[in-house]
């Protein structure tokens, strides 16, 4: 428990969280631009959830010894991970059980104060269809890998919750 506390109160833990999100974002761009797989609007929303985890990690890394920043980072982390898992489950349902009545939009619906698709269309503009599953590894589709990833983020969050929110002991 004490080792987890020291780890949760260090920049290394928050840096690893940020790095894991960065790897996922780079992988998404690799699939989009190198493998030529067009992301759907739900894929774009999943990218935003991963971006939320990365931003939360940066908040926690600013001063991991200050409980308020750790709390804000932890809160953003779990909100982003749960939202990402929800999106991935919905997209998986569209791909596994296709229905003409269950489709996604062609255009992202970002808030007016944050039109990510206009600011960075190369990253946040969808060009594909939600029902298409274009890649798999070990018979697990890309969106199913994202479900696994978000569940792991939630599990690690649960593991780190108590150590991160308790005062550090020497």
| Residue from 3, 11, 70, 104 carrying the catalytic annotation | 104
Helix (H) or strand (E) holding 42: helix 41-62
**pLDDT band per the 50, 70, 90 thresholds, residue 102:** low
Residue 67 forms part of a structural domain: yes
Confirm whether 47 is a catalytic residue: yes
| Residue from 3, 11, 43, 154 carrying the catalytic annotation | 43
Q: For the whole model, what pTM was predicted?
A: 0.82
Reference 42, options 120, 98, 108; nearest CA is 108
Work out the percent of the chain whose per-residue pLDDT is above 90: 25
Domain ranges, residue 73: 2-98+120-165
Check whether 137 has a pLDDT greater than 70: no
Residue 48 forms part of a structural domain: yes
Residue 66 forms part of a structural domain: yes
Residue 103 forms part of a structural domain: no
Which DSSP string do the residues of 49-93 spell out, in sequence order?
HHHHHHHHHHHHHH-TTSHHHHHHHHHHHHHHHHHHHHHHHHHHH
What is the domain-level CATH number for residue 128?
Answer: 1.20.1550.10
Output the pLDDT for position 55: 93
Identify the residue with better confidence: 71 or 10: 71
Q: What is the mean pLDDT of the chain?
A: 81
Count CA atoms within 13 Å of residue 98 on its CB side. 7
Q: How many domains does the chain have?
A: 1
Output the pLDDT for position 100: 67
| Residue from 3, 70, 130, 154 carrying the catalytic annotation | 130
Ramachandran bin of 31, using left for φ above 0, alpha for ψ from -120 to 50, beta for the remaining angles: alpha
DSSP-based three-state secondary structure for 118 = helix
Query: Could you report the per-residue pLDDT of 41-100, keeping only the tens digit for each?
Result: 888 889 899 999 999 999 988 887 777 888 888 899 999 999 999 999 888 888 777 766
Check whether 115 has a pLDDT greater than 90: no
Those residues whose C-beta lies under 8 Å from the C-beta of residue 82, and which sit 6 or more positions away, are 150, 154
Output the pLDDT for position 22: 94
Residue 32 forms part of a structural domain: yes
Output the pLDDT for position 5: 66
Confirm whether 130 is a catalytic residue: yes
- Are 169 and 14 spatial neighbours (Cβ–Cβ below 8 Å)? no
Confirm whether 154 is a catalytic residue: no
| Residue from 3, 11, 40, 70 carrying the catalytic annotation | 40
């Amino acid at each position: 428990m004490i080792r987890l506390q020291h780890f949760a109160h260090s920049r290394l833990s928050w840096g690893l969280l940020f790095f894991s999100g960065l790897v996922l974002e780079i992988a998404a761009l690799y699939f989009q631009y190198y493998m030529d797989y067009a992301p759907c609007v739900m894929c774009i929303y999943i990218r935003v959830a991963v971006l939320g985890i990365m931003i939360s990690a940066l908040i926690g890394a600013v001063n991991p010894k200050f409980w308020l920043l750790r709390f804000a980072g932890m809160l953003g982390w779990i909100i982003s991970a749960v939202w990402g898992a929800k999106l991935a489950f919905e997209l998986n349902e569209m791909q596994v059980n296709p229905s003409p009545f269950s489709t996604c939009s062609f255009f992202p619906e970002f808030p007016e104060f944050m039109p990510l698709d206009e600011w960075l269309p190369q990253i946040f503009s969808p060009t594909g269809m939600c029902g298409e599953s274009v890649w798999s590894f070990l018979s697990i589709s890309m969106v199913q890998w994202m479900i696994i990833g978000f569940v792991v983020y939630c599990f690690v969050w649960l593991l780190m919750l108590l150590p991160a929110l308790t005062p550090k002991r020497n």
